[in-house]
């Protein structure tokens, strides 16, 4: 089987190139073609000899993502891509344009195992982990197609990034490599449903990214109803990992909280949330739950009062702007329609 060249670090690429008989400095040139010029074809690597390019084609593969669908929101120019992978799987990527620059929401798995009650991603089961090249491919293909230079990335698309730990960390290292795309990890947010053991592992790596934790409820009973992962890592255990992450990295955590009518949107729920996260100095991102096919949960009308309850108690909070509502930009919805 040919080696997936876009997933290789510069060091790995050097080792592989010497095996094919190439000189080491060639690896730097190839890395530049792949990660700076975003070339998807060896034949375009014009500073390499024809013979060497043929050798590369025999040893390596570059598997570009295929745009299967592209939806542009009429409201706010949010663009949602349905990308086809080379084994026929589909994933979603969303390009959001803000005044301070474009942000890209990328997927880390085809499907998801976590089965959160309100989320469309898990409804069609888990297929497989994405390779680093397939995460980078979402960025490179979107930049190529849109002509936009993406300023920040959120790992908030389909999948649980910490359930695909090794590939996600390798993707982050490639993304931030000085000789490649060179994106500072200060501009990256990783969102997790709360795999505490992996949060502990991530803290040790001190990557400098922002960790977003999907909390959605500040008591175990409600959270377990919404998120089965809470039966494995309950709120106490999760908070211990969040405290440790903050201590190890100095980076404040951001909590995602989707407001659901009658379930987690009362004053009592807000007060429980304040008590839980105040010691962490964390930020809360309030989301109104998006309707999905399997979703029996309804958006809360209390976002403003819930927000005010938090901020008047000294919690730093924002209400997330809904983007791309007309193009089903909430996770997993487009992929779902294709299955
Ligand atoms: N698995 C990761 C990242 C993917 S989900 C995680 O759980 O964080 C990205 C965010 O969207 C999470 O906060 C998730 O809880 C939220 N989300 C999923 N479905 C939603 C829906 N229907 N409405 C609002 N938020 C949703």
Is the pTM for the entire model greater than 0.85? yes
How many whole angstroms from 279 Cα to the centroid of ligand 1?
24
Which domains are present in the chain? 3-61 (1.10.150.530), 66-338 (3.20.20.70)
- Secondary structure letter of residue 118 according to DSSP: T
Question: 250 CA to middle of ligand 1, Å?
Answer: 25
pLDDT at 329: 56
User: Cβ distance 109 to 98 under 8 Å?
Assistant: no
Ligand 1 atom closest to the CA of 118, numbered from 1:
22
Mutate to test the pocket of ligand 1, among 196, 256, 289 (most ligand atoms within 8 A of CB): 256
* pLDDT for the residue 43: 96
The segments of the chain whose pLDDT lies below 70 read: 292-295, 322-339
Nearest atom, ligand 1, residue 288 CA:
24
Q: Three-class SS of residue 183?
A: coil
At 331 the pLDDT is: 54
- Ligand 1 center to residue 176 CA distance, Å? 25
Instruction: For residue 81, list its beta bridge partners.
Output: 70, 93
pLDDT at 288: 82
Contacts of 121 (CB under 8 A, 6+ apart): 111, 112, 158, 159, 331, 332, 335
331 an active-site residue? yes
Beta bridge mates, 260: 299
21-49 residue pLDDT tens? 878 899 999 999 999 999 999 999 999 99
Spell out the alpha helix ranges (H) of the chain. Answer: 10-19, 24-35, 50-59, 132-146, 165-175, 196-205, 220-226, 235-249, 267-277, 303-312, 333-338
């Amino acid at each position: 089987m040919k080696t997936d060249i876009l997933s290789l670090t510069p060091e790995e690429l050097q080792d592989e190139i010497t095996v094919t008989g190439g000189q080491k400095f060639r690896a730097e040139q190839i890395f530049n073609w792949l990660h700076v010029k975003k070339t998807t074809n060896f034949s375009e690597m014009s500073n390499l000899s024809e013979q060497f390019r043929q050798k590369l084609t025999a040893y390596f593969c570059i598997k570009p993502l295929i745009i299967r669908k592209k939806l542009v929101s009429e409201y706010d120019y949010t663009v949602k891509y349905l990308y086809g992978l080379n084994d026929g799987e589909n994933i979603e990527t969303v390009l959001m344009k803000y005044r301070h620059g474009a942000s890209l929401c990328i997927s880390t798995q085809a499907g998801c195992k976590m089965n959160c009650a309100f989320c469309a991603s898990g409804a069609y089961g888990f297929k497989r982990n994405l390779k680093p090249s397939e995460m980078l491919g979402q960025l490179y293909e979107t930049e190529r197609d849109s002509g936009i230079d993406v300023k920040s990335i959120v790992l908030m698309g389909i999948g649980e990034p910490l359930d695909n730990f090794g590939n996600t960390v390798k993707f982050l290292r490639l993304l931030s490599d000085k000789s490649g795309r060179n994106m500072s990890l200060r501009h990256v947010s990783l969102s997790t449903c709360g795999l505490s053991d992996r949060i502990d592992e991530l803290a040790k790596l001190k990557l400098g990214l922002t960790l977003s934790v999907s909390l959605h409820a500040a008591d175990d009973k409600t959270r377990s109803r919404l998120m089965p992962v809470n039966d494995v890592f309950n709120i106490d255990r999760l908070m211990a990992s969040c405290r440790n992450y903050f201590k190890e990295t100095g980076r404040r955590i951001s909590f995602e909280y989707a407001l659901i009518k009658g379930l987690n949107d009362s004053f009592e729920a807000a007060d429980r949330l304040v008590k839980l996260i105040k010691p962490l100095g964390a930020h809360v991102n309030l989301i109104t739950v998006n309707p999905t096919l399997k979703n029996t949960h309804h958006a809360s009308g209390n976002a403003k009062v819930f927000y005010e309850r938090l901020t008047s108690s000294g919690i730093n909070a924002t209400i997330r702007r809904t983007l791309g509502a007309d193009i089903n930009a909430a996770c997993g919805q487009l992929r779902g329609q294709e299955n």
